[in-house]
Chain A
Amino acid sequence: MTLFHFGNCFALAYFPYFITYKCSGLSEYNAFWRCVQAGATYLFVQLCKMLFLATFFPTWEGGAGVYDFVGEFMKATVDLADLLGLHLVMSRNAGKGEYKIMVAAMGWATAELVMSRCIPLWVGARGIEFDWKYIQMSFDSNISLVHYIAMAAVVWMFTRYDLPKSFRLPVTVLLGLCVYKAFLME
């Protein structure tokens, strides 16, 4: 529905990232390049995941309505690589204390935004046909920003040694939820 609508969706998707970056004080730490590096790590991890999936998991040839629990479960387990990637970013990337989390999460989420949402928005939202799904997609990217921040925080907490034992369990559960979120939704 024309460029204006595309602009609307793009603003809805991107501005929260911008606002978060500005207001959380990351700009004072010159963290732009670090975010970009985190984004590059995201790309790398996604590439590895895709290669792994393509090589080891053949296409499911069962009936159309049957949901391949085991197969999908295995595929979701591969998403553990996401967590590993986040951990990698945070441990390698210098950055003080809590800002490590923010840097990693911002870079990761922005890379995901650019890679998986920009093209559909560009192609779809600019056309004549109107569909609610583009607004939905942009809103979804907001939610995934929050989700990635939370995920990075939980990963960081998981790797802390001085974590009280009582927190271990909820942290692990939350981590598991993160990974299998897509799987559970099905």
Chain B
Amino acid sequence: MFEEASEVFDNMFKSSFPLTFIVFIPAVLILVSPLPAEAAHEFTVYRMQQYDLQGQPYGTRNAILNTEARTVEAEVLSRRCVIMRLVDFSYERYQKALRQSAGAVVIILPKNMSTMPQDIVQQFMELEPEMLATETIVPVYFALEDDELLSIYTQTLTSSSSQGSSSAAEVLIHTATANGFQMVTSGAQSKAVSDWSITSLEGRLAGTGGEDLPTIVLVAHYDSFGVAPWLSYGADSNGSGVSMLLELARLFSRLYTYKRTHAGYNLLFFVSGGGKFNYQGTKRWLEDNLDHTDSSLLQDNVAFVLCLDTLGNGDSLHLHVSKPPKEGTPQYALLKELETVVSSQYPEVKFSMVHKKINLADDTLAWEHERFGIRRLPAFTLSHLNSHREAQRSSIMDVRSVSPSSRHGAGEHPAGPHVDLRKLSRNTKLIAEALARVIYNLTEKGAPGDLQIFTEQMQVQEEQLSSVVDWLTAQPRAAQLVDKDSSVVSTLEYHLGRYLKDVRRHYVKADKRDPEFVFYDQLKQTMNAYRVKPAIFDLLLAVCIAAYLGVIYLAIQHFGVLYSLVRRITAPKTKQH
């Protein structure tokens, strides 16, 4: 048969050249064409942070992966993709995977973070900065769990934990029946994003009564931070600060529309970007206003700068300062007014001043007011957190709300970081009252401590606060994801424009030669999980097929024997006819 076949091909080659083309070129093309394959499961994964801050790299450096999946229990982890669930996650396991030079790590997070128990949330929050601090070349991805992913995980778990513990026969059977998974990402390698501009917004309310009025600046940063940029919603830190700022803007613009309540202070509101990356927005804004323009509200008489950071929860308020305010200064007045308001109107709130000197040797500044302090502007930050090192300031666990079932008993600390709307509105009212007392000089005029200004029509609107926080936490607001055309920025601009005048945008781009911050792309990928069989399976199958073919060959060779056998079996039947 081969001779005849080769005759045919010979004729084809010799006689007509185009014919060979027609036959061979498509064959070659098909051979080398890349294959689109269907995956067992396709899901979105979010990469861990990757950024450089002041030349120091953080986070994972790699984005592509094409490796087999294993779980931590497996013995051989090198060049494999290690899958972990959040409930089983611990730093030792993570380190173990990295030490054995795993190919990648995928951490599966539950779909609804608010159902996680408190201790796991707390543990993960504390691990986030550690994970980021160690620069890894291994890509680390986070995926939200769904049924298919869970089944992939359990299958991988059973196959990983049974390795090396059974006999050869079991291993053979195991290779035939079990499923391995190959995880492949579809994107490219990550590279630095050039020309990323961080946007900040400012607006003002001008005071009445002549030139050279003192200015009060209210600042809040709107970006969020977490171990994965696409998963950082930043509800309490700093969605609460931004919503409070907008509410204060609304209240004071209302007061300022009436001549009788128009005060003699300029109010400058600043919503800054890049806050979690060492307050880049604020830094450049200060440079532009103080160094590069001739006249700015910041250059003249600044009474104080109040930064709002993480005020959506908790029963304590801390006023963080870098220098304790001296008596007779407006800062001191604010401090006193805050104490007065707290003691007379909100006795359940514990108020204190926290004094921390600016340490320029640190990698990053602690609070936002330190940026102003460096430029010799009197500033403080209000927060319900005691220390800037609290894990919840930069965690993906900071969500809008947590389910009541995940809280423990009444006496214990409630569940992970979230925004409690009543406390947020209480804090807003508290701060508004204190500011009003400073602006209108109420204590000197003899107003009692429990005089409430913001009541009835001037009330703090909880629905407004709630809707702003809900909108802010509906999308991730990491600085790498909010560019100048983003809807977050334009909506904030619109909101500020409703209450304030002279709303302006301010852009920060990293310096070309010595960039303060560098962001990288490929933060969200589609990962495919392909069902694969181990290589031994192919060999096993080949052996089986060879045996089968051998049997067929023998059967056909000795077909006569088989035929006579069948005839002998059926013969008695025909004989009976």
Which one of A32, A131, A166 lies within 8 Å of B577 (CB-CB)? A166
Given A5-B538, A23-B557, A30 contacting B4 (CB threshold 8 A): yes
- Residue with the greatest number of chain A CB neighbours at <10 A, chosen from B4, B30, B184: B4
Which one of B1, B38, B538, B559 lies within 8 Å of A1 (CB-CB)? B538
In chain B, positions 39-57 with a C-beta closer than 8 Å to chain A are: 39-40
- Chain A, interface SS category: helix
- B531–A130 touching, CB < 8 Å: yes
Q: Does A60 contact B (CB under 8 A)?
A: no
- A8–B541 touching, CB < 8 Å: yes
CB neighbours of B549 from chain A (8 A): 11-12, 15-16, 19
Cβ of A4 to closest chain B Cβ, rounded Å: 5
CB neighbours of A173 from chain B (8 A): none
* Segment at the interface with B among A38-46, A71-79, A119-127, A178-186: A119-127
Which one of A2, A22, A129, A135 lies within 8 Å of B39 (CB-CB)? A129
Which one of A16, A122, A129 lies within 8 Å of B37 (CB-CB)? A129
- Residue with the greatest number of chain A CB neighbours at <10 A, chosen from B40, B179, B541, B559: B541
Give CA–CA (A39, B179) in the complex, Å: 39
Q: Does A24 contact B (CB under 8 A)?
A: yes
Q: Which residue of B lies closest to A21 (CB)?
A: B1
Q: Does A20 contact B (CB under 8 A)?
A: yes
Q: Does A69 contact B (CB under 8 A)?
A: no
Q: Contact flags (1/0) for B1-33 with A, using CB distance below 8 Å?
A: 100110000000000000000000000001000
Give CA–CA (A6, B542) in the complex, Å: 11
Q: Does A128 contact B (CB under 8 A)?
A: yes
Q: Does A27 contact B (CB under 8 A)?
A: yes
CB neighbours of A30 from chain B (8 A): 4
Q: Contact flags (1/0) for B529-571 with A, using CB distance below 8 Å?
A: 0111100001001100100110011001101000000000000
Give CA–CA (A4, B534) in the complex, Å: 12
Give CA–CA (A126, B530) in the complex, Å: 13
CB neighbours of A161 from chain B (8 A): none
Give CA–CA (A47, B569) in the complex, Å: 42
- B556–A27 touching, CB < 8 Å: no
Cβ of A114 to closest chain B Cβ, rounded Å: 14
Q: Which residue of A lies closest to B66 (CB)?
A: A128
- Residue with the greatest number of chain A CB neighbours at <10 A, chosen from B30, B545, B548: B545
Cβ of B176 to closest chain A Cβ, rounded Å: 10
- A126–B35 touching, CB < 8 Å: yes
Q: Does B60 contact A (CB under 8 A)?
A: no
Q: Does A33 contact B (CB under 8 A)?
A: yes
- A20–B556 touching, CB < 8 Å: yes
Q: Does B182 contact A (CB under 8 A)?
A: yes
Which one of A20, A23, A128 lies within 8 Å of B532 (CB-CB)? A128
Give CA–CA (A30, B1) in the complex, Å: 8
Cβ of A71 to closest chain B Cβ, rounded Å: 31
Cβ of A17 to closest chain B Cβ, rounded Å: 10
Q: Which residue of B lies closest to A22 (CB)?
A: B1
Q: Which residue of A lies closest to B539 (CB)?
A: A4
Cβ of B156 to closest chain A Cβ, rounded Å: 15
CB neighbours of B38 from chain A (8 A): 127, 129
CB neighbours of B1 from chain A (8 A): 21-22, 27, 32
CB neighbours of B5 from chain A (8 A): 32
Give CA–CA (A15, B35) in the complex, Å: 26
- Residue with the greatest number of chain B CB neighbours at <10 A, chosen from A20, A32, A129, A135: A129
Give CA–CA (A15, B548) in the complex, Å: 10
Which one of A8, A16, A129, A166 lies within 8 Å of B538 (CB-CB)? A8
Which one of A12, A33, A127 lies within 8 Å of B545 (CB-CB)? A12
CB neighbours of B541 from chain A (8 A): 5, 8, 135
5 further interface pairs, Cβ-Cβ under 8 Å (given A4-B542, A11-B542, A23-B556): A8-B538, A19-B553, A24-B556, A126-B35, A127-B35
A residues near B, CB below 8 A? Answer: 1-2, 4-5, 8, 11-12, 15-16, 19-24, 27, 30, 32-33, 122-123, 126-131, 135, 166
B residues near A, CB below 8 A? Answer: 1, 4-5, 30, 35, 37-40, 179, 182, 184, 530-533, 538, 541-542, 545, 548-549, 552-553, 556-557, 559, 577
Closest 8 CB pairs of A and B: A127-B37, A32-B4, A128-B530, A23-B556, A129-B530, A4-B538, A130-B533, A12-B545
